[in-house]
Structure 1
Amino acid sequence: MCEKNDAVVTAGGYAAVIIAYHRQDLLDAVLERLRVQTSRPEMIVVVDNGGDVDESFLAGSDIASVLVRRADNPGYATAVNIAAERARGAGLANLLVLTHDAVFEPTLAASLLDAMAVDAQAGCVAPTLRWVSRPDRIFSSGGVLTRGGRAYHRTDDVVGARAVHWVDGAVALYRVQALEHIDGVDERYFLYFEDVDTGWSLARAGWRTLVIPEVARQEPGAHPLRLGVRNMILFARKARLPLLPAVYSVTMRVAEELVVGLRREKRLRVIAAIRGIFDGLAGRRGKP
């Protein structure tokens, strides 16, 4: 059941977190894009999940910056939660989450903040995502979550602010208060399904997730079949999805992934699928 929020923090200042992993060149590019935003962050948090970030950017930045080294790579959710705690401690109302390969315009933050300010129940606002290699093609204009737990990207144009079930986590602005209401991004998944779970959790707590026409770009990567299947099952159990739709959804995902693997790699990844199913049923979570 959804619960109505008692108090809402209006959109205001924001912290930005960059989730870095072994690519200093990509990180440097994102840092530069943040410096030229028409609405600049009051704090930048770099979570180094690879353990090799050059910390010289700390001295060279005119924006308050923090480097958090997590060479054990605990994953996306942990990085977001670390940064949300820093933003909360600094009294900032919003957190802009960026993966280190995100490409975006100087207007990104201002557009997201404007949309957040207009809708008091918006807990998350994200841009329309296009491919880096194919900028004319939409990768995600928000996500759909089916009754059985399948998660799909929409790929149509966005007009105005669109309410969706979830958004891709590569570029997203979160209201810190909304993250507090759901106890942060769930860290059980690692690499796949955190963003889906977050949208679902926000909705249950009474918050809306929006996509706007502002464009950012990223090159989406493939998810390991074992983790994808495991995390679907973990989510289905957490959300207490109806058994038959959940079983059907997992079965269809496995079948589709096996066909794709056979076409691209000329092999059936049956063992990975079986391990994912057993891991999910056993409740194994986090980094594999």
Structure 2
Amino acid sequence: MVVTWRGAAHVGRCLDALAAQDRPHRTLVVDNASDDGTAAILAAHPCAPEVLRLPRNTGYAGGTAAALSFVDTPLLAWLNDDAAPDPGWLAALEDALAAAPRAAAAGSRLERPDGGVQSLGVRLTADGHGADVIEEGTEPFGFCGGAALLRTGVLRRVGGVPATFFCYYEDTDTAWRLRLAGWDIVRVPEARVTHLHGASTRPGSAPFHLWNERNRLLTLLRCAPAAVACRELAGFAALTVLLPLRRDRPDAPNFRPGLRTRALAGVLVRLPAALAARRAVGTRASAGRGAVWRRWAGG
């Protein structure tokens, strides 16, 4: 499953790489109402992907959620439209899940075009951020959603994909719910992917930081221990109020009071749904939130 939005510059390369996979598969592209010629590229590509065209841009999270209601295969791959997997990528992920029946997801090795490591998975920081693992010896908490393989039935049973996140943290939130439900997540270094990170979302931009800050807090409200979620939400709000008074305020988008106020407003609007999701996550959990936090949250 590939989610694209205005991907005309790179989605063809992604489809070329999927066509070269050495394991049979079905290719589904979710097109988030692209208006840049992406639809014509998809229609003309020799691999003839199935295309689910949405009426509006729902982001990566919304597109992935739409795909989940559309597929009937036991495994579902998540792949960014700016990612090009090696020919053995899918086979390596499938074999890893076959060898680990308690694993619900298998993550890839994402590399920058220069060959440097971009992500070997996701770790939890002490304040609940989902951060890329870039060191071989670090066991990841979760998978990077840019390239991963999940058991479709398990994903549905733990609540699917948080479509309202729009973009970012849909993978960390999913990892939280899988861990709470007692499932493992494995890293597959042999599943290599070249990734043009942020081709559509411009990491470092104001929208990037808005989605990250809002969705981190929503993920904690949905999945983390209550004390952690309340601490981080209160701390974020307090810093937002105090920032205009600071002369040494960092010149970064996520320290702009206006952006942080918008992130808080986004959390408050979604708070009833987040708390309802929290209750649902709790009913499916076989592991305690505190135990998962203590095991995986680090510096």
Q: Deviations over 1:87-139 (max 9, x none)?
A: 31xxx22111111100221111111111111001111111111222x422x22
Question: Does 1:155 pair with 2:129?
Answer: no
Runs of 5+ unmatched residues, structure 1:
1-16
CA drift at 1:71: 4.1
Equivalent residue in structure 1 for 2:141, among 145, 162, 165: 165
Equivalent residue in structure 1 for 2:12, among 21, 28, 31: 28
Q: Which residue number corresponds to residue 38 of structure 1?
A: 22
**CA shift in 2, pair 1:59/1:141, >3 Å:** closer
Q: How many residues align?
A: 258
Runs of 5+ unmatched residues, structure 2:
275-299
Superposition misfits of 4+ residues, deviation over 6 angstroms:
252-255
Task: After TM superposition, list the pairs within 5 Å mapping 1:21-170 onto structure 2.
Answer: 21-41=5-25, 43-52=26-35, 53-55=38-40, 57-58=42-43, 61=46, 65-88=49-72, 92-132=73-113, 134-136=114-116, 138-146=117-125, 148-157=127-136, 164-170=140-146
Task: After TM superposition, list the pairs within 5 Å mapping 1:119-268 onto structure 2.
Answer: 119-132=100-113, 134-136=114-116, 138-146=117-125, 148-157=127-136, 164-214=140-190, 215-218=192-195, 219-220=197-198, 221-222=203-204, 224-243=208-227, 247-248=231-232, 251=235, 262-263=250-251
Percentage identity across aligned positions? 23
- Tell me how far apart the structure 2 counterparts of residues 126 and 93 of structure 1 sit (CA, whole Å): 17
For the residue of structure 2 that corresponds to 1:177, the secondary structure is helix
**CA shift in 2, pair 1:280/1:60, >3 Å:** closer
CA drift at 1:246: 5.1
- Tell me how far apart the structure 2 counterparts of residues 253 and 94 of structure 1 sit (CA, whole Å): 40
- Tell me how far apart the structure 2 counterparts of residues 243 and 96 of structure 1 sit (CA, whole Å): 34
Query: Which one has a larger percent helix, Structure 1 or Structure 2?
Result: 2
- Tell me how far apart the structure 2 counterparts of residues 165 and 96 of structure 1 sit (CA, whole Å): 18
Q: Which residue number corresponds to residue 285 of structure 2?
A: none
**CA shift in 2, pair 1:205/1:163, >3 Å:** farther
Verify the 8 A CA contact 2:97 2:106 in the aligned structure 1: yes
Verify the 8 A CA contact 1:51 1:71 in the aligned structure 2: no
CA drift at 1:262: 4.2
Q: Give the alignment's Cα RMSD to 1 decimal.
A: 3.2
Scaled by the length of structure 2, the TM-score of the pair is 0.74
